[in-house]
A and B are shown apart, each in its own frame.
Chain A
């Protein structure tokens, strides 16, 4: 993995949690709609990516040009592949909303050279945004789930633009290539690699040392991007305290994600087929540990790419200490609605039915989903689970439960889905269909799935 292939990950912090924040979503999930995964102007996007890559290559004339050209080319190919692999969504409403925020930032900051800018929307539910340093920026769909105002999104975008202005990606790329090509480091690498004895230990120490230097630079870059991002935001009419609020919220992310009880028993408890507690039985583990016992791990704290959030908040508070109450705009409400609504479909499309089930149950518990959509989604999930298990492919898509995971309620959903057997799904599916058969009598999708479960229960 190349360090510079990793975009600066603004406002996303190490822990790789897939999240949903639903408690502030005042919306109603209504009907299924699909996102568009292919750009209408595919050729022009390809040309654009080619042009910005060439421009970047030309910028690095001179030493290490060969290595740098290779890295930039690899990144270009990877990015085009990710578009083809449906990583990005192309949605008019989201783009229009994003452009409205960008317009305000550009008007207030005319010095920003935006002619190479292109913002892509990544379908990932991880709350994240990234600057690729060549004009490409990405905003993850999951970010819309946690922001509560246009101002917060504006700060995040300003932070990413600051990375571009400060040329952090370029410096990082050059730093990486120079580090590994420096005579001193080459000598150290050769020495460690040629050690007859204790090579791994020597190389580990060297890697640790080099990593620390890279990451120290990365942390400095984050703080710089916060500062310049704040300056860019200050010039707009957006609320300046939004940055602090966004950072604080992200700092809390580990505790608040998947913290909503899905009340799974209630959804799958039927008079003639009661919920079985064994469906939630957890597996015994080899060890009683809170984290992996790894004698070979490097010091985790020294390997964080981003400085601790409280430090960043403290730095921002030097500029602006008041935290005003901010409410979401009507546009953002609508976007959050669209995102929550369509995330279920994305999860079902990629067979992440654990995430889809978690979301549909919590939305239903909060009366944020229409009964029709709830019924159709649940029976779809049950049918898909049945099909995947029948063909021995379920475990390929739904993660096992990790003993170290603190995603309590998502894990409960996963445990349930892993533990139920075909004979259970047949009965649960039929009971669920029978329960809602009357009120869904006019719904052709539901009627079709009901017929499927009736057939399984002759």
Chain B
């Protein structure tokens, strides 16, 4: 999901009733540095933040304001913060006990963590110095999308994901408790010859589940994924499980913690020797591992046999007339059914791109840059029972969209790259644990015969065992709309009135038909 909140609202201090002259107005027009939704791991919105530069102070300092809106768009706090001029709000997080903000200043080589309690009082600051190499990697990781730099542990604390300038680049997870518990740091080996990074994906009151990615160099596609489970109270490693190219290569899409001290990993599996980013998978898997690292159960769903019973599988992982499936997320319901959410894609030749490539080659250029597209079509959802047996596959019509693609070789690798760059139509999946629902959101480029093409925000909703759709068109005669994540079951509509030149923000419930 593109976690960017594309609003550039310049708010004035509303209490200043008499700022009449243009000079005073000018001074009070504050510059919005960045803004965003405060999301939890289920993509439920806890609130929204806006980060403004308010005032220029001496010695390169600036006065900033962190404005916070609750999940219903009510402004609940506007806090002052003074720091160096290049500071930006990197990430904000809420854990029910308080908030934490990661304020980054790469020119001063530091990240400052600010903690606020439930009364909106600043309760602590943690300054984390950075090396220049670490900054470079932070910038690269941020550009690549969903990078969990700050992860909330509900009712317990926050985990900060720090990159480390070791022999090669490494990481450390720094835990800051908010419940009076003990702080800890879990670090990768300093002398590792591989580039190591980590992404926490699931947490409860006992453990943190994270995926460690290891590669020899930055551009290498030889990636080893290690699942790591850490005791959240002590920071001690409970177990790790490696999936390498030669040993059970697996692409993990999601993980779920069970109440019986076990964790379920889900994703696609490959044959030994295959590259998880380049090659076609053999199918989907679930693997349940207990906290000692022992596999309790494993289920495999093959394209060849299992999926082929329900769809025309042309060749391994390729569906007839449709192409490949890119799985964005796998959701587990409260009844332990699983739903894998994906989109069809195929590599297509771009006419314009071919011409450019020919011209490029004639001019001494190399290769077929820009000659291919990734064509994205319908959404597809695989339903599995609690034993991970494939029960049904449902397709949802969606207009064709094309992502400009460099030719990376395999369609799979192109798809991974396009996904990281946000070129798929998939936006995000929000999970409503309380009502046992999920909302998988896409952009749909509708192409109807005899009508002008229309874009819509399309949501596939799971409720009471059924999958239904809701749709919000993104423009009409007078207005354009942007749809952003909202509190669970809702979206935030940013409505722009073209005639009145007005922006109206309102939350709307997604409708279960």
Residues of chain A touching chain B, judged by Cβ–Cβ distance below 8 Å, are 1-3, 176, 180, 189-190, 192-193, 196-201, 203-204, 206-207, 210-211, 214, 283-289, 292-298, 303, 389-390, 392-396, 400-404, 418, 421-423
Contact = CB atoms under 8 A, between A and B. Distances in A.
14 contacts: A286-B76, A286-B94, A289-B76, A293-B119, A296-B15, A389-B509, A389-B511, A390-B511, A392-B509, A394-B509, A400-B72, A400-B507, A401-B72, A421-B512
A197, A286, A390, most chain B CB atoms within 10 A: A286
B493 A286 contact: no
Nearest to B434: A278
Contacts of B487: 283
B472 A289 contact: no
A396 B504 contact: yes
Contacts of A199: 27, 55-56
Contacts of B504: 396
B99 A193 contact: no
A296 B99 contact: no
Given A199-B27, A286-B94, A402 B74 contact: yes
Interface in B458-507: 472, 487, 490, 493, 495, 504, 506-507
B15 A298 contact: yes
B63 A283 contact: no
B77 A287 contact: yes
A132 to B, nearest CB: 18
Interface stretch (B18-26, B123-131, B162-170): B18-26
A1 B17 contact: yes
Given A289-B119, A292-B75, A3 B493 contact: no
A200, A203, A392, A423, most chain B CB atoms within 10 A: A392
Contact of A404 (B74, B490, B506): B74
B400 interface: no
The 6 A-B pairs with the shortest beta carbon distances in the complex, nearest first, are A400-B72, A395-B506, A293-B120, A200-B55, A295-B80, A392-B508
A392 B65 contact: no
Contacts of B74: 400, 402-404
Given A203-B27, A287-B77, A196 B56 contact: yes
Contacts of B357: none
Contacts of A190: 23
A294 B24 contact: no
Interface string B17-61: 111110110111010000000100000001100000011111000
A346 to B, nearest CB: 21
Given A192-B27, A199-B56, A200-B54, A286 B508 contact: no
Nearest to A285: B70
A214 B513 CA distance: 55
Contacts of A392: 472, 493, 508-509, 511
B506 A295 contact: no
Nearest to B464: A423
A423 B20 CA distance: 50
B26 A286 contact: no
Given A203-B27, A396-B495, 18 more contacts: A192-B27, A193-B26, A200-B63, A203-B19, A203-B24, A203-B28, A210-B18, A283-B71, A283-B487, A287-B119, A293-B79, A293-B120, A295-B79, A298-B15, A389-B511, A392-B472, A400-B73, A421-B509
B78, B80, B490, most chain A CB atoms within 10 A: B78
Contact of A423 (B27, B73, B512): B512
Contacts of B119: 287-289, 293
Given A197-B57, A288-B118, A189 B77 contact: no
Nearest to B463: A423
A214 B56 contact: no
B118 A287 contact: yes
B113 interface: no
Nearest to B493: A392
A303 to B, nearest CB: 7
A297 B75 CA distance: 13
Contacts of A189: 21, 23-24
B66 to A, nearest CB: 9
B26, B76, B77, B120, most chain A CB atoms within 10 A: B76
A259 B68 CA distance: 30
Contact of B19 (A207, A214, A395, A421): A207
B16 interface: yes
Contacts of A287: 76-77, 116, 118-120
A64 B265 CA distance: 75
B362 interface: no
A190, A199, A401, A404, most chain B CB atoms within 10 A: A199
A303 B15 contact: yes
Contacts of B77: 286-287, 289, 292-294
Nearest to A419: B509
Contacts of B120: 287, 289, 293
A422 B38 CA distance: 27
B317 interface: no
B96 interface: yes
Contacts of A192: 27
B13 interface: yes
Nearest to B78: A294
Given A190-B23, A423-B512, A293 B78 contact: yes
A422 B58 CA distance: 56
A180 to B, nearest CB: 6
Contacts of A292: 75-78
Contacts of A303: 15, 17
B56 A197 contact: yes
A3, A189, A293, A390, most chain B CB atoms within 10 A: A293
Contact of B23 (A193, A196, A400, A401): A193
A260 B33 CA distance: 45
Contacts of B511: 389-390, 392, 421-422
Contacts of B80: 295-296
A288 B99 CA distance: 12
A75 to B, nearest CB: 15
Contacts of B28: 200, 203
B131 to A, nearest CB: 31
Contact of A296 (B18, B78, B493, B506): B78
A203 B72 CA distance: 32
Contacts of A2: 20
Contacts of B19: 203, 207
Nearest to A212: B18
A193 B55 CA distance: 11
B65 A296 contact: yes
A285 B76 contact: yes
A201 B55 contact: yes
Contacts of A283: 70-72, 487
B343 to A, nearest CB: 24
Contacts of B75: 292
Contacts of A197: 55-58
A292, A303, A418, most chain B CB atoms within 10 A: A292
A211 B57 contact: no
Nearest to A196: B56
B118 A193 contact: no
Contacts of A403: 70, 74, 76
A287 B47 CA distance: 11
A180 B20 contact: yes
Interface in B110-161: 116, 118-120
Contact of B508 (A180, A211, A395): A395
Contact of A286 (B30, B68, B509): B68
B18, B65, B76, most chain A CB atoms within 10 A: B18
A180 B68 contact: no
A2 B507 CA distance: 32
A140 B346 CA distance: 64
A68 B38 CA distance: 47
Contacts of A286: 38, 46-47, 68, 70, 76-77, 94, 99
Contacts of A297: 15, 78
Contacts of A418: 509
